[in-house]
Amino acid sequence: MRSNLQAAVDYAELGYPVFPCASDLNPAPLTRHGFKDASTNPEQIEAWWQQFPNACIGLATAGLLVVDIDGPGNTWLASDPDKALSLAAAPTSLTPGGGRHHIFRRPSGKNWKCTVGQLAERVDTRTDGGYIVVPPSARPDGTYRWLEGCELDVPIDRLPEPPPWLVAALDELPDTGRRTKRAKGSPTSAPVAPVSDESNRIPSGQRNATLARLAGAMRRIGMSQAEIAAALHQAGRNRCTPPLSPAEVDRIAASVARYAPDHIATAMVEDHWSQQFGRDEEPLEARPTDPGALPEHVMHVPGLIHDVMQYNLATATRPQPVLALAGAIALQAVLAARKVRDERGNRTNLYIISVADSGAGKEHARKVCKRILYVAGLENLEPNDEIASDAGLVSAAELEPASLFQIDEFGRFLRTIGDPKKAPHLFNALGTFMKLYSSADSTFRGKAYADRKRNKVIDQPCVCLHGTSVPEHFYESLTASSLNDGFVARLLVFESHDMPERQRRSQQPVPEPIIAAARWWGDFSPGGNLRREHPEPIVVPTTTAGAAVFDGLAAKVDAELRERRRVGNSLWARAEEKACRLALVHACSANRERPVIDAADARWACDLSEYLTRRVLHLADEWVSDGQFDARQKKVLRIIRDAGGHIGRRELSRRTQWLSQRERNEVLANLEEAGLVELRQILTGSRPKVVYAIRCS
DSSP conformation letters of 67-119 = EEE--SS--TTTT-HHHHHHGGGS-EEE-TTS-EEEEEEPPTT-----EEEEE
Round to whole Å and give the CA distance between 351 and 492: 6
Name the nearest CA neighbour of 79 among 301, 230, 303: 230
Partners of 648 in the β-ladder: 691
Task: For 534-562, give the DSSP string.
Answer: S--PEEEPB-HHHHHHHHHHHHHHHHHHH
Top CATH class of 628-694 equals mainly alpha
- Bridge partners (DSSP) of residue 86 are none
- Environment class of 331 (CB within 10 Å of its CB; exposed 0-12, middle 13-18, buried 19+): buried
User: What percent helix, strand, coil does the chain show, rounded to 5?
Assistant: 45, 15, 40
Q: Average pLDDT for residues 392-406, to the nearest whole number? A: 90
Confidence of residue 437 (pLDDT cuts 50, 70, 90): very high
Domain boundaries, the chain: 4-171, 198-269, 297-526+533-538, 628-694
Q: Give the tens place of pLDDT for each residue, 32-66.
A: 888 999 999 999 999 999 999 999 999 999 999 99
Q: What angle do CA 193, 195, 200 make, to 5 degrees?
A: 150
The pLDDT, as a whole number, for residue 473 is 86
560: confidence class by pLDDT, cuts 50, 70, 90: confident
Count of beta carbons in the 10 Å neighbourhood of residue 175: 9
CATH of 297-526+533-538, one of 3.30.70, 3.90.480, 3.40.50, 1.10.1060: 3.40.50
Q: Are strands 123-126 and 64-69 parallel, antiparallel or unpaired?
A: antiparallel
218 has pLDDT over 80: no
pLDDT, the chain, mean: 83
Q: Are strands 646-648 and 689-694 parallel, antiparallel or unpaired?
A: antiparallel
Query: Across the strands, what pairs with 119?
Result: none
At 459, the amino acid letter reads D
The residue among 454 and 664 whose pLDDT is bigger is: 664
Question: What is the reported pLDDT for 87?
Answer: 85
Measure the CA–CA gap between 218 and 74, rounded to whole angstroms: 13
Residue 200's pLDDT is what? Answer: 56
Average the pLDDT over 545-573 and give the result.
83
What residues have CB less than 8 Å from 43, skipping those under 6 apart?
none
Pair 354, 494: CB distance under 8 Å: yes
Report CA Rg, the chain.
33
Q: What is the pLDDT of residues 591-616, one digit of tens each?
A: 999 999 999 999 999 999 999 999 99
**pLDDT tens-digit readout, 63-104:** 999 999 987 777 788 777 778 778 877 899 999 988 889 999
What pTM, to 2 d.p., does this model score? Answer: 0.57
